[in-house]
Structure 1
C-alpha cells in the first residue's frame, strides 16, 4: 500500500465533512474536484476514506445506536461534523501509518474519557480517543 501523508489524510477528512454539511454548495463541489484531481495521493486518500466509511455502514447496529443514528438523520451539526472528521482522521492516521503492536515498543494508553495527541519518535503526530492502547511499530 502506498504511504499517504497525514496532511493529505486530514485534507480528505475535512473535505468529506464539508461535502456532508447541510450548506454545501456547487463552489464547494468544484473546489473538492480540483483538490481531488490535483495529485494522485489526494484521490487515493479519498478512496481509502470511502472504503472506511463503507465498513462503518456494515457494522451491526444495536437498539441504542439506531436511536442515535435516527436522531442524526435530520442533519449533523457543525460540532458533530468536526468530531466525525477528527475521529476519521485519527483512525486513518493509524491505518495509513501502519501502526500495530510490537514487543519492546512503548505503549501509548488513554483512560476512559481521555483524548490526547502523541508525537512518535519518527515525528508522526497521532490523536488518540478514549480508552485506547497502541504499541507503534515502524516499517523500514
Structure 2
C-alpha cells in the first residue's frame, strides 16, 4: 500500500476549515486502500495544487500519520496499514487523542472519515455499501462513508452510529426484553421493538425510517419519554426533541440495493444524495436546483447516474477536475 514518506513538519496557521479537512481526509482514506488507482493518485495531487489550504490540510494529514510512525518499533506502520490490526490501530489512535498528542491535527480532523476509519469497529469508504451479520444473527447494511462501534455482551446489543447511515434487520430469535437492541447517535437512542429500520446521522439531527415492526426514539437530552415510531413512518430527532412522524417513502432503503430511486425529486436533493457516494465534491447550480427528476440511478456508478440525469433533463456536469464538478443548465 503506497503511502507518502516525506518528512513533514506540522503546518502553522491553526486548524483548516471543516470542509477542506474532510475532503483531505477522504483522499487519504482512499489512498490508504489496497485498490487505489494511479488516476486517483493523480487526481489527489491536482486537488492539492488547486488551493494552498488544500495542501496545508494534506500536510496536516501527513503529520498526523507520522505521529504513528514515531511510535516505538513497527507498531505504528502496522496499525495504520494492516486491516487485520484494526483493534490495535484504534487503541493507539485513542491513546494519542486522550493524551493530546494530535494537537491541532486532531482538532482539524475531528469527525472526519480518516479518524473514524481508524477508530471505529466497522466502517465503509466513500462509495462503498457493505453487509454485516452480527453475533446474534441481526443483519446490518452500512451506507457510504459510514462508521459504527459495536457493543454486544450478555446484557445488551448496541450500535453506536458515528457517521453515515445504517440499515438494521434485527434477529427475531433473541428476546429483546433480555438483550435490548439499540442504535445510538449523538442525538439520542433508537430502541428496536422487533423490526427493520434505517438510522441516518445528519449534522443537526438523526433520522429514523421504520419498514417493519416499530422503534422507540429517545432524544439524548429530552425530559419526556420517547416516541414510538411504527412501520411506514419516518421522523427526525435532535438531542432535545422529536419531529412529528410522517409517511416513509417506499424507496427510502433502496440504497441498500445500490440504487437511488427518485420520484419527482429536486435536482438539488438528487445531487446531494449522489454526492454521498463520490470522492471529491459535486455541486448543484441554483438555476437547476428546483428541476424535478424521476428514475432509478446506480449508486455504485455515479458517473453513469450523472450521465442518465443529463439525458433526462436539460442539465450537464461541468468538471473542474475528475472529482470536482457542478451540475448546471445545458
Task: Tell me the TM-score normalised to structure 2 length.
Answer: 0.23
Determine which structure has more spread, i.e. the larger CA radius of gyration.
Answer: 2
Larger RCO (CA within 8 A; separation ≥ 6): 1
Structure (1/2) with the larger helix percentage = 1
